[in-house]
A = this chain, B = another copy of it.
């Protein structure tokens, strides 16, 4: 747990203390409540699991389906509008910003959400869609839409040149 709060402290210069992070930040609350929801989900208590997830969404603005599998020391920063789907998997030491979606593009009950590696950074507003894989250490820029596999270490950004007109 200390380990987890340190992950926030290490990268957020605006955080003044661990108390502030543990008590006031939405990200740690959402991840802690997801651990509970996921345990209920694995016991086939789907309604109860979803209830916990909806309470968490109401308190934090972060929506994580109880079925999602999240790695260690996941930092969800700011978090409002984050949506993580039922069959999504996220590795260790990732940083996910607000407005990010790990979502699906098909309506069948198979693996339909992304698999995210370790040490991945996903910028604000990015949409990662479909049963694709984001390789270890890749970085996805703000507002980017990704619908294909991303190689380890790759960086993807909205090319600013493509949308500038004066």
| A interface with B by C-beta (< 8 Å) | 10-14, 16-17, 19-20, 24, 26, 46-47, 50-51, 54, 57-59, 61, 63, 65, 67, 78, 80-81, 83, 85-86, 97-99, 101, 103, 107-110, 112, 123-125, 127, 129, 141-148, 151, 154-160, 162-166
Contact = CB atoms under 8 A, between A and B. Distances in A.
A80 B163 CA distance: 25
Given A54-B24, A63-B80, A101-B98, A16 B164 contact: no
Contacts of A156: 163-166
B63 A46 contact: no
Contact of A24 (B24, B50, B151): B50
A142 B163 CA distance: 11
A148 B164 CA distance: 11
Contact of A107 (B11, B78, B141, B158): B11
A142 B165 contact: no
A52 B74 CA distance: 25
Nearest to A107: B11
Contacts of A144: 143, 163
10 contacts: A20-B46, A57-B80, A61-B80, A63-B78, A83-B124, A101-B125, A129-B142, A142-B145, A145-B160, A146-B160
